[in-house]
A and B are shown apart, each in its own frame.
Chain A
Amino acid sequence: MLKIRNLDAGYGKLRVLKNISLHVKAGEIVTMIGANGAGKTTLLHTIIGLVRASAGAIEFQQKEHTGSCAQKIVAAGCTLVPEGRQVFASMTVEENLILGGYMLQRREGKDAVLRELQYQYDLFPVLRERREQYAGTLSGGEQQMLAMGRSLMSRPRLVMMDEPSTGLAPLIVREIFKIITRLRDEGNTVLLVEQNATAALGIADRGYVLEVGKVILQGPAADLLANSDVQRAYLGREKIG
């Protein structure tokens, strides 16, 4: 579904991503773990077209998308749930969701958006309760759900999520991850970027480990969880002896 080959990207002269290659197949959860500053967010921003790639290729649904603007990539069915939620704070929950359906409306019309809205309310019942509230007044967990719902409104083929667990209580994090698993089980494809490596690898099918702009490890999530380097660096477990 998504194929990235030898991707380089950065800001001005600063090269953040160096020769990154990865792929995501339909129906799987792929996670990308790494420390702060490893380039995880830059990678997602490059895929979605907010940051321009300086070399390499991004292929989505067998189509070349290197250098496309965000609008084209979103139209092609790839969405991003941004880091820090980024909801439209001064607008109501329902307005946020309808705006997420912008592409769906252009593709299939208003009725499709209203149907999808009900579907998102079923997936996130708390959003239905708060539909008239301003998004800025929601709690962190609710805002995360709103950001996810807003992305899903366009009925994407691939959902990318940037650190959905940041700043949330453990109980809420568990709920968010349960929803991500459910999305996969319903046939969605997810690329999940996380610092919370244990939780991310726990639900993912495959994983990549990013360090200072390079992929240093990859493989099935279970193998990475068992890998001693990963355990030492990201899971906070040191083997004694």
Chain B
Amino acid sequence: MTPDLFFQYLFAGVTYGAIYAIVAIGFNIIYNTTGIINFAQGEFVMLGGMIAISLHQVMPLPLAITLAVALTMVIGAAIEIIFIRWLQSPSVLRLIIITIGVSILLREAALHIWGESIRSLPYFYGNEISSISLGSVHLSPQVLWVIAACGIMVAGLSLFFKYTPTGREMRACSANRTAAILCGISTRNMVTLSFMLSAGIGAVAGCVMSPITYTQYDSGTGLAIKGFTVAILGGLGNSMAAVAAGILLGIIEAFSVSVVPLAFQDAIAITILLAILFVKPHGLFGSSVAARLKDF
């Protein structure tokens, strides 16, 4: 392998890894406040992309993306309010099955609204053939958008959870729900908020990746599996670890292309997921102690 090819693979891996990481962070936020895995997370990504594509036909791109993210957040909140909020102490299994149901619902709704056609947003800067050269490596400018979006979201979320009162209250709900209730915090509102936040983050991912990966009514499913793998790989609930794990998975997938056929790419993610669940269920960066003192 030439050095050029090596870096080309590396950047491709980092790009996909950043996308997986964003999806995984969406999983983590909801997991932290509710203890459940929201299997409709991939659908939030798809919705963000699809809504932005539709809106872009009548308005400029930045506005379309902003509105798409806002709308997806509203949808996320609505899902929580309609399907989850009113349940009296539901079991984890029941909640997980509800989210699977919701994911099917959203996918079918998307099929009805947008059909089976594959769409995409235009490149944010330049077009398909424009490239930026970093030394001898040629990159699509969109790659930088993806990586920047991931970085900004991670930084923003860290600041939000650490320094804002609302972030602190959300962490309190995840650290000890009963105690949060005893402080007078409305844990139900915090759960709604976490669905909104996850939906918004998913929608941003859906928008920045759309020019590269394209968007279809069912593109959320595969992403959800990858994102879930990454969330587990990093250690559930830990967003920083999710970024590292996402990039790791992305790079492994990118380099695997030079060894095994492209079709096996998805199988690699599943294999890694199974291997982690067998060998290190707390994730690469999570210890059993940290799992007890879990934090965002």
Chain A residues proximal to chain B, CB less than 8 Å: 48, 50, 70-71, 74-75, 79-80, 82, 86-91, 95, 98-100, 102-103, 105-106, 134, 136, 150-151, 154
Contacts and interface: CB of A to CB of B under 8 A. Distances in A.
B237 to A, nearest CB: 10
B293 interface: yes
A5 to B, nearest CB: 24
Contacts of A95: 168, 172
Contacts of A87: 176, 179
Nearest to B162: A95
A48 B294 CA distance: 27
B295 A90 contact: yes
Contacts of B180: 88, 99
Interface in B16-53: none
B171 interface: yes
Contact of B181 (A70, A75, A100): A70
A71 B180 CA distance: 10
10 contacts: A71-B181, A71-B184, A71-B186, A79-B182, A86-B182, A88-B175, A91-B171, A99-B169, A102-B169, A150-B179
A150 B295 CA distance: 20
Nearest to B185: A102
A80 B186 CA distance: 16
Given A70-B182, A86-B178, A98-B168, 8 more contacts: A87-B179, A88-B176, A88-B180, A89-B176, A90-B294, A91-B171, A91-B175, A103-B183
Interface residues of B, number: 20
Contact of B172 (A71, A79, A88, A103): A88
A90 B184 contact: no
Provide the main secondary structure of the chain B interface.
Answer: helix
Contacts of B172: 88, 91, 95, 99
B160 to A, nearest CB: 14
Contact of A74 (B165, B168, B175, B183): B183
A103 B184 contact: yes
A90 B175 CA distance: 7
A98 to B, nearest CB: 7
B183 A154 contact: yes
A90 B293 CA distance: 5
B182 A80 contact: yes
A103 B169 CA distance: 12
Contacts of B292: 89
A89 B289 CA distance: 12
A127 B175 CA distance: 20
Contact of B179 (A71, A88, A103, A106): A88
A102 B293 contact: no
A80 B179 CA distance: 9
Contacts of A79: 182
Contacts of B184: 70-71, 74-75, 102-103, 106, 154
Nearest to A134: B293
B120 to A, nearest CB: 41
A195 B113 CA distance: 63
